[in-house]
Amino acid sequence: MSNRLNVAPNDLSAFWMPFTANRQFKQAPRMLVAAKDMHYTASDGRQLLDGTAGLWCVNAGHCRPKITEAIRQQAGELDYAPAFQMGHPIAFELANRLVDLAPDGMDHVFFTNSGSESVDTALKIALAYHRAKGNGSRFRLIGRERGYHGVNFGGISVGGIVANRKMFGTLLTGVDHLPHTHLPAKNAFTRGVPEHGAELADELERIVTLHDASTVAAVIVEPVAGSTGVLIPPKGYLKRLREICDKHGILLIFDEVITGFGRLGTPFAADYFDVVPDIMTTAKGVSNGVIPMGAVFVKKEIHDAFMTGPEHLIEFFHGYTYSANPIACAAALGALDTYKEEGLLTRGAELAPVWEDALHSLRGEPHVIDVRNIGLVGAVELEPIAGHPTKRAFSAFIKAFESGFMIRTTGDIIAMSPPLIISKEQIAELIDGLRGVLRAID
Point out which residues bind ligand PLP (CB under 6 A). Answer: 56, 114-116, 119, 148-150, 222, 226-227, 255, 257-258, 283
- Residue 344 CB, nearest approach to ligand PLP (Å): 19
For residues 65 and 335, what is the distance between their CA atoms, to the nearest angstrom? 10
Residue nearer to ligand PLP on the CB measure, 208 or 258: 258
For residues 431 and 305, what is the distance between their CA atoms, to the nearest angstrom? 49
Residue nearer to ligand PLP on the CB measure, 177 or 367: 177
Is 142 in contact with 136 (CB distance < 8 Å)?
no
Is 382 in contact with 373 (CB distance < 8 Å)?
no
- Residue 149 CB, nearest approach to ligand PLP (Å): 5
CA dihedral over 154, 158, 164, 170, signed as positive or negative:
positive
Q: Which residues touch 323 (CB under 8 Å, ≥6 apart)?
A: 83, 110, 111, 112, 113
Residue nearer to ligand PLP on the CB measure, 283 or 377: 283
Residue nearer to ligand PLP on the CB measure, 43 or 59: 59
CA dihedral over 38, 44, 46, 52, signed as positive or negative:
negative
- Residue 114 CB, nearest approach to ligand PLP (Å): 4
User: How many residues can be counted in the chain?
Assistant: 442
Q: Which residues touch 411 (CB under 8 Å, ≥6 apart)?
A: 228, 229, 384, 389, 390, 393
DSSP string, 95-140: HHHHHHHSPTT--EEEEESSHHHHHHHHHHHHHHHHHHTT-TT--E
Residue nearer to ligand PLP on the CB measure, 258 or 351: 258
- Residue 283 CB, nearest approach to ligand PLP (Å): 5
Give the residue nearest to ligand PLP (CB). Answer: 115
- Residue 441 CB, nearest approach to ligand PLP (Å): 25
- Residue 304 CB, nearest approach to ligand PLP (Å): 26
Residue nearer to ligand PLP on the CB measure, 41 or 227: 227
Strands 140-144 and 175-178 turn out to be: parallel
For residues 327 and 9, what is the distance between their CA atoms, to the nearest angstrom? 28
- Residue 308 CB, nearest approach to ligand PLP (Å): 30
Distances (CA, A) of 120 to 40, 318, 392: 32, 10, 34
- Residue 150 CB, nearest approach to ligand PLP (Å): 3
For residues 44 and 404, what is the distance between their CA atoms, to the nearest angstrom? 11
Q: How many CB atoms within 10 Å of residue 414?
A: 30
Strands 108-112 and 140-144 turn out to be: unpaired
- Residue 66 CB, nearest approach to ligand PLP (Å): 22
Is 103 in contact with 271 (CB distance < 8 Å)?
yes
Query: Which residue, 418, 421, 269, is CA-closest to 358?
Result: 418
- Residue 395 CB, nearest approach to ligand PLP (Å): 23
For residues 28 and 30, what is the distance between their CA atoms, to the nearest angstrom? 7
CA dihedral over 104, 107, 110, 113, signed as positive or negative:
positive
Residue nearer to ligand PLP on the CB measure, 117 or 412: 117
Q: How many CB atoms within 10 Å of residue 429?
A: 18
Residue nearer to ligand PLP on the CB measure, 114 or 181: 114
Residue nearer to ligand PLP on the CB measure, 208 or 331: 331
- Residue 219 CB, nearest approach to ligand PLP (Å): 14
